[in-house]
Structure 1
Amino acid sequence: MIDLDALDWQLIRALNADATQNAGALGRRLGLSQPATWRRIRRLRSEGILRPRRLRLNAEQAGFGVTVFLGVKLATKGRVSLEDFERAASAIPEVQRVDHVLGLYDYRLRVVAQDLADFERVLRRRVMTLPGVGDVEANVLLSEERLAGPMLG
């Protein structure tokens, strides 16, 4: 584990608010030079504190009006490998996330669809045919709020 100082945390909070900021602008806000800021960013990336940037799709604007969280319990844990399930689930275009979880279900999937009829098609034709699928529970997302988290707030 890396020791983070107050400047590291300020940098993390600033990047969390807007990851498109360049090192010069961040440095000015933090009282650092552009090279010093860039060295800190590079160190945070190399230590795994900052992950690579990813595109965040606005599903609703892209025509996906429904988001559903599926709890999936595997019926045949010994017969199907977890990697096979994960690989097959990740290959479904409507599945945004595949999380292996501890609890009542083995996996939590985040699925987007155009509407409920489209979701039913994805569920029946794609999700229910995944290797080892047993019980499935669906929870439709009503609203979403992004929280910064306890360390970043």
Structure 2
Amino acid sequence: MTPLDDIDRKLVMALARDARQPASILGKRLGLSQPATWRRIRRLEEAGVLSGRRLRLDAAKLGFGVTVFLGIKLATKGRVSLEDFERAVSGIPEVQTVEHVLGLYDYRLRVVARDLPDFERVLRRRIMTLPGAGEVEANVLLSEERLAGPL
């Protein structure tokens, strides 16, 4: 674990809110010069604390009106490798996240679709045909009250 001081924590939180902020603005807020701010950002990137900058897209405005969380149990553990399943499911563009979890299901997926018939097509033609896919439970997202933020 990389030791972080209070300024590092404030910098990480500020970047988590908006990674587009210029180092000069961040530095002013934190009481640092622009070069000192850049050095801290670079050090946090090299330590792996910061990894990339993401753009948050509005799925509904892009035509994806349905989000579904799927719990998937592998039907044939041992006969199909986890890597084969993960590689295959990662190739489906509608699948936004793939999480290997401990519990009732082996995997949790976040899937977007244009509407429910489109989701049914993705489920039947792509997800249910994955190597080792067994039992599936779907939960349709009704609303998202809080977006992911800093830890």
1:98 equivalent in structure 2: 98
Secondary structure of the residue aligned to 1:68 is strand
- For normalisation by structure 2, the TM-score amounts to 0.95
Amino acid at match of 1:76: T
**Counterpart code for 2:141:** L
C-alpha deviation, 1:57, in angstroms? 2.4
Summarize deviations over 1:33-64 as a string: whole Å, max 9, x none: 11100010011111111111133321111100
User: Which residue does the alignment assign to 1:27?
Assistant: 27
State the distance in 2 between where 1:80 and 1:148 align: 35
Q: Counterparts of 1:105-120 in structure 2 under 5 Å? A: 105-120=105-120
Q: How does 1:45-60 map to 2 (within 5 A)?
A: 45-60=45-60
Deviations 1:71-109 (CA, angstroms, capped at 9, x unpaired): 000011101111110111010111111111111000001
**What is the percentage of aligned positions where both structures have the same residue?**
73
CA distance in 2, matches of 1:147, 1:59: 15
Question: Gaps (5+ residues) in structure 1?
Answer: none
Cα distance in structure 1, aligned partners of 2:7 and 2:147 = 24
- Tell me, in whole angstroms, the C-alpha distance in 2 between the residues paired with 1:80 and 1:54: 33
SS state at 1:131 partner: coil
**Structure 2, unpaired ranges of 5+:** none
User: In the alignment, does 2:147 pair up with 1:146?
Assistant: yes
The normalised TM-score by structure 1 is 0.94
Alignment partners' CA distance in 2, 1:30 and 1:137: 46
Which letter does structure 2 place at the counterpart of 1:146? Answer: L
CA distance in structure 2 between the partners assigned to 1:73 and 1:113 by the alignment: 21
Q: Say whether residues 1:123 and 2:127 are aligned partners.
A: no
Q: Quick one: distance in 2 between partners of 1:5 and 1:17?
A: 19
Deviation at 1:147, TM superposition (A): 4.8
1:15 Cα deviation from its structure 2 partner: 0.8
Residue in 2 that maps onto 1:132: 132
Moved over 4 A (4+): none
Q: Which residue is equivalent to 1:42?
A: 42
| RMSD between aligned residues | 1.1
